């Protein structure tokens, strides 16, 4: 398991600005080199107040600038390394996944049809030998050699090539959609594994904390300052956490198999997970992303290429109802009869012919079929667009909700930790509020788990949005 170093840096916010008391210029308010702003400034925190205070910090503590810069570079490096691991898994999946392979081969097969329909029909060559020679003035005809080539009507081959090319492009979009879907599945499984792994860590940590509380409760019970019920409460909560840990271990096995199956690698392959999941936001605003969906979504682009294919199919069907042109030549070998100057002189002549498309029903049927398929494709695209827009709206809402939950539960975790410290101090002093300590510890566990769940949900929502816009 990959472990990343984490660096925590304090933040200067409006809430802790309110706690600063104005003092004469030059008076130090603490050991961190934070000085109050000029007394002429309002006690209400403003952007100017914050700017002046940050400037004051950097002027009096130049090492802070270097420390923050190094910290940021380290955080960026850690995030980049973790994302490189995920990108490597995506590459492995693209190379190994059998479902993606057959979609690619399906596209390649469609591409091979282009040359098949863009070529002229094979020429015809015939040889005939006269068993009973036909006598002519110049002599007996002994053999006949014929060559002919059929040419479709002008533009037919180009339209057939365009029709088949667009069908191949349609298959390529199916392949790209399958690849995007595979990448989405890999990312979602990766984020789920991250959440399960973090949940196991957090649960183990809470079990250790409860074991400490249990020891503390036993000491209080022996000293007569607490009830034996306190120990039982800890035992009950420990049993719940141990059961949850076993469940998480089972889920880890199941999701590991799922992840490795997507990559088509061995089930015991090591999976590198980040110590902290990156907190990148989605790169596009709502309307820009919606416009990108309508333009770049692979399923919608598939319908666009299908429409172009059916338009060309209609044109080809119309041209099939026009005559085909035959060009050819015949060569006849003539024997010598010794009766004249031209005796034994062979004959050569060219020929021209056309096909007559008399039976119009099949041609009209082909034209109507292509026209109806255009309408079908248009309706399918409209229906799919509505479904994708609805899905995009829901995913965008999930993304915003996950962002809010990340901030909310991080704040709740911080508050719960403060409350636990206060309650624990009270319990150590007089043995009271032990039930409240356990309840708050349970809440803290929930908030820590929900924070990690929100981080995973946020990145999963971003992955889904990227899939919808065709990335």
Band of pLDDT at residue 21, cut at 50, 70 and 90: very low
pLDDT of residue 59: 55
Question: In this model, does residue 8 exceed pLDDT 70?
Answer: no
The pLDDT value given to residue 52 = 54
pLDDT value of residue 189: 97
Domain boundaries, the chain: 14-82, 152-322+357-468
Judged against a pLDDT cut of 50, whether residue 103 lies above it is answered with: yes
Distance CA 302, CA 162 (A): 15
Query: Per-residue pLDDT for 256 more than 50?
Result: yes
pLDDT at 220: 76
- Asked whether residue 25 carries a pLDDT value surpassing 60, the answer given is no
- pLDDT reported for residue 64: 52
CA gap 439, 232 in Å, rounded: 14
- Say if CB 4 and CB 276 are below 8 A apart: yes
At 75, the pLDDT band (50, 70, 90 cuts) reads very low
The pLDDT, as a whole number, for residue 40 is: 36
pLDDT digits (tens, 9 = 90+) for 298-336: 999 999 999 999 999 999 999 999 999 999 999 999 888
Per-residue model confidence (pLDDT) at position 62 = 54
pLDDT of residue 230: 79
Could you say which of 1.20.1600.10, 3.50.50.60, 3.30.465.10, 3.40.50.300 is the CATH number of the domain covering 152-322+357-468? 1.20.1600.10
Q: How confident is the model at residue 66 (pLDDT cuts 50, 70, 90)?
A: low
Which pair of tokens denotes residue 121? 């029909």
DSSP structural state of residue 338 = S
Question: Contact at 8 Å (CB) between 314 and 391?
Answer: no
> Are 298 and 176 spatial neighbours (Cβ–Cβ below 8 Å)?
yes
Name beta bridge partners: 151: 325
- pLDDT at position 352 is 95
Widest CA span in the chain:
146
Query: CA 469, CA 297: separation in Å to the nearest integer?
Result: 5
Whether 32 shows a pLDDT value over 60: the answer reads no
Instruction: Evaluate if residue 343 carries a pLDDT over 60.
Output: yes
With 70 as the cut, is the pLDDT of residue 53 above it? no
Q: Which residues pair with 136 in a beta bridge?
A: 139
Nearest-10 crossing angle of helices 156-222, 298-320: 160
pLDDT of residue 54: 44
pLDDT of residue 233: 85
Structure confidence at residue 38 (pLDDT)? 37
Confidence (pLDDT) at 151: 94
User: What does the pLDDT read at residue 81?
Assistant: 65
Average pLDDT estimate for 222-242: 84
């Amino acid at each position: 398991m990959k472990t990343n170093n984490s660096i925590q840096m304090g933040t200067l916010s409006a809430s802790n600005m309110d706690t600063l008391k104005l003092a004469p210029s030059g008076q130090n308010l603490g050991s961190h080199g934070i000085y109050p702003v000029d007394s002429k400034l309002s006690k209400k925190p403003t952007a100017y107040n914050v700017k002046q205070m940050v400037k004051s910090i950097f002027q009096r503590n130049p090492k802070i600038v270097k420390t923050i810069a190094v910290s940021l570079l380290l955080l960026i490096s850690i995030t980049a390394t973790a994302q490189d691991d995920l990108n490597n898994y995506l590459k492995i999946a693209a190379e190994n996944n059998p479902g993606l392979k057959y979609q690619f081969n399906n596209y390649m097969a469609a591409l091979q049809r282009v040359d098949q329909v863009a070529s002229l029909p094979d020429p015809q060559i015939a040889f005939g030998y006269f068993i009973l020679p036909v006598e002519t003035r110049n002599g007996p005809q002994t053999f006949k050699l014929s060559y002919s080539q059929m040419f479709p009507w002008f533009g037919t081959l180009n339209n057939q090539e365009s029709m088949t090319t667009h069908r191949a492009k349609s298959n390529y979009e199916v392949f790209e959609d399958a690849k995007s879907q595979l990448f989405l599945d890999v990312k979602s499984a990766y984020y789920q594994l991250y959440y399960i792994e973090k949940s196991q860590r957090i649960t183990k940590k809470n079990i250790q904390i409860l074991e400490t509380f249990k020891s503390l409760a036993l000491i209080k019970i022996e000293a007569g300052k607490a009830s034996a019920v306190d120990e039982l409460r800890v035992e009950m909560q420990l049993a719940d956490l141990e059961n949850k840990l076993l469940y998480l271990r089972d889920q880890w096995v199941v999701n590991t198999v799922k992840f490795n199956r997507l990559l088509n690698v061995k089930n015991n392959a090591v999976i590198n997970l980040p110590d902290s999941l990156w907190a990148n936001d989605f790169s596009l605003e709502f309307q820009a992303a919606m416009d990108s969906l309508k333009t770049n979504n692979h399923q919608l682009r598939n319908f666009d290429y299908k429409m172009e294919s059916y338009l060309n199919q209609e044109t080809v069907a119309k041209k099939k109802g026009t005559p085909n042109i035959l060009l050819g030549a015949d060569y006849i070998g003539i024997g010598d009869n010794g009766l004249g100057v031209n005796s034994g002189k062979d004959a050569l002549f060219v020929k021209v012919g056309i096909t007559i498309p008399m039976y119009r029903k099949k041609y009209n049927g082909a034209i109507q079929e292509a026209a109806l398929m255009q309408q079908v494709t248009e309706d399918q695209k409209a229906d799919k667009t509505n479904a994708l827009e609805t899905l995009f709206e829901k995913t965008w809402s999930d993304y915003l909700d996950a962002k809010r939950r990340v901030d909310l539960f991080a704040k709740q975790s911080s508050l719960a930790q403060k409350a636990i410290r206060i309650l624990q101090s009270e319990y150590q002093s007089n043995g009271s509020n032990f039930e409240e300590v356990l309840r708050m510890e349970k809440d803290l566990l929930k908030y820590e788990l929900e924070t990690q769940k929100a981080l995973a949900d946020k990145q999963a929502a971003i992955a889904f949005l990227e899939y919808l816009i065709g990335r």
